[in-house]
Amino acid sequence: MAHMAQMTGAADGATVPSGFRGAELGWPELHRIPRPPRRLPLLGDVLGANPRTPVQDSMRLARRLGPVFRRKAFGREIVFVWGAEPAADLADESRFAKHVGLGVANLRPVVGDGLFTAYNHEPNWQLAHDILAPGFSRTAMEGYHRAMLDVAARLTDTWDGREKAGVAVDVPGDMTKLTLETIARTGFGHDFGSFERDRPHPFVSAMVGTLSHAQRRNVLPPGAAPLMRRAERRNAADMAYLNRTVDTIVAARRADGALRGHADLLDRMLEVAHPETGERLSAENIRRQVITFLVAGHETTSGALSFALHYLASHPDVLARAQREVDQVWGDTGEPGYEQVAKVRYLRRVLDESLRLWPTAPAFAREALHDTLLCGIHPMRRGAWALVLTAMLHRDPAVWGPDPEAFDPDRFAPKAVRARPAQVFKPFGTGARACIGRQFALHEATLVLGLLVRRYDLHPDPGYRLRVTERLTLLPQGLTLRLSRRSRAARE
């Protein structure tokens, strides 16, 4: 449990109180941080702001106000950071740690001290981290490969049908089916039957409901609670549905008995004790972890795949290069082996470049472990926090050049990566609380993109302009593509 004390900032034994803390409390020289010029007395900086697109609104403000800025909405003052230098400073784990706030804290009623939402000082974070991390080892990943292929085959069956019928495919909808089935199958041995349904599985609707609700609670004034009563009731029903689904999955596994060799996450949760302390996860905590993994394990990967498909379809030269690579590296193998996935390096760059422009978990928060100075100039008290706006960090012209909006996978060629400072590409967060599922997501997404570009040419709707939906995560709104099967000749 080496970094636990450090992560709580609890060298003196005290933990910083949880709940929303406005920047006024933690930043003694807040007035030096730029903010939008026109501020309304009660509402704050909401002129031109749209509660449905808080991230994109903040991106617009970031461009005007610079690498560290603040924004006040409905009585809450928040400091945003996106410059490469201050973001690198916040990545220093000896001075900063994850801050559970805003949207993440709003998920606590559903997932409590589950891995994603646990406060750093809560013992269940380290316990679950240590028990579950081996579930993402290389050996474990190899074990998931077969199931990933099986789910991908259900996607291509569906897409073959659409292609034959000459009907466009709903990209985010189908990527959500794919990623939900993948995490459910590999992690929990469960089949939601998403591809056999016309409408999203009720689990997905309940999940989208709770995510959107959490986002809405971020942007509404604290006094608006009575207006939310109906929404709160629906949210309670959504949460109850999520809980019931998970209880069914757990009960089925308990009835079947453990798998051999702790082959999946659920088995680890139910059977494995902490290697040092012998402690186990409680039934309540397992429920929280299963929901956490079902949600965190699919929503962001679905968005990442969708953005990558958008960029591939709208950049025929990139698509052709990716297709050539996959044809060459995978050859005629019906199903690529585990080892072959990491070898389609150009396709991985396409994915990285898509995650650069639209990191689908678009921000993460960091708090000071002790009184400190951000970049040597902005004093922060212990517990003060800032939101790293990843999509803008990934657009800092000082690092990414004069045209950061341009989609160019070669930015991730090894030489280009070596030439950049560390800590400037953070789609998976940073430090001890960075994404535990990173390798899982990258393997799954690269495999699926490879299978799709090998099989189809992708044709965008000529009228489509990228619009981004926000519901704590990001998705390309209304993205559809037409497909044509590639002929064997084209692949040789």
Given the rule CB under 6 A, which residues bind ligand HEM?
Answer: 98, 104, 115-116, 129, 183, 292-293, 296-297, 300-301, 304, 359-361, 364, 427-429, 433-437, 440-441
Of 65 and 304, which has the nearer Cβ to ligand HEM? 304
Cβ contact 250:290 at 8 Å: yes
Of the two residues 296 and 481, which places its CB atom closer to ligand HEM in the complex? 296
At its nearest, how many Å lie between ligand HEM and the CB of residue 425?
12
Parallel/antiparallel/unpaired status of strands 372-374 and 378-380: antiparallel
Q: Which is nearer to ligand HEM, 194 or 292 (CB)?
A: 292
Residue of 435, 440, 446, 473 marked active site? 435
Is residue 260 classed exposed, middle or buried when 0-12, 13-18 and 19+ CB atoms within 10 A define those classes? exposed
Q: Taking the complex as a whole, how short is the minimal distance between the CB of residue 264 and ligand HEM, in angstroms?
A: 11
Measured distance between the N- and C-terminal CA atoms of the chain, rounded to whole angstroms = 53
Q: How far is the CB of 295 from ligand HEM (least distance, A)?
A: 9
Smaller CB distance to ligand HEM: residue 336 or 359?
Answer: 359
Backbone angles phi, psi at 169, to 5 degrees: -100, 145
Strands (E) in 410-472, as ranges, are 456-460, 468-471
Q: Least distance from C-beta 365 to ligand HEM, angstroms?
A: 6
Spatial CB neighbours of 337, under 8 Å, sequence gap ≥ 6: 145
Nearest CB to ligand HEM, comparing residues 232 and 279 = 279
- Whether 435 sits among the annotated catalytic residues: the reply is yes
Tokens at 427, concatenated: 């789609």
Structure tokens belonging to residue 255 = 């009835």
> Is position 375 annotated as part of the catalytic site?
no
Q: Which is nearer to ligand HEM, 30 or 363 (CB)?
A: 363
Q: Which of 186, 300, 301, 390 is catalytic?
A: 300
Minimum separation from the CB atom of position 113 to ligand HEM (A): 11
User: Directed axis angle between helix 171-188 and helix 299-314, to 10°?
Assistant: 140
Angle formed at CA 194 by CA 192 and CA 195, multiple of 5 degrees: 135
The residue nearest ligand HEM at its CB is: 437
Catalytic choice (69, 412, 428, 440): 428
Residues 450, 305: contact at Cβ < 8 Å?
A: no
What own/partner pairs with CB < 8 Å and gap ≥ 24 does 254-263 have?
A: 259/189, 262/134, 262/135, 263/143
CB of 193 to ligand HEM, least distance (A): 20
Q: Which residues, 6+ apart, have CB-to-CB distance to 393 below 8 Å?
A: 82, 83, 84, 87, 424, 426
Residues annotated as part of the active site: 300, 428, 435
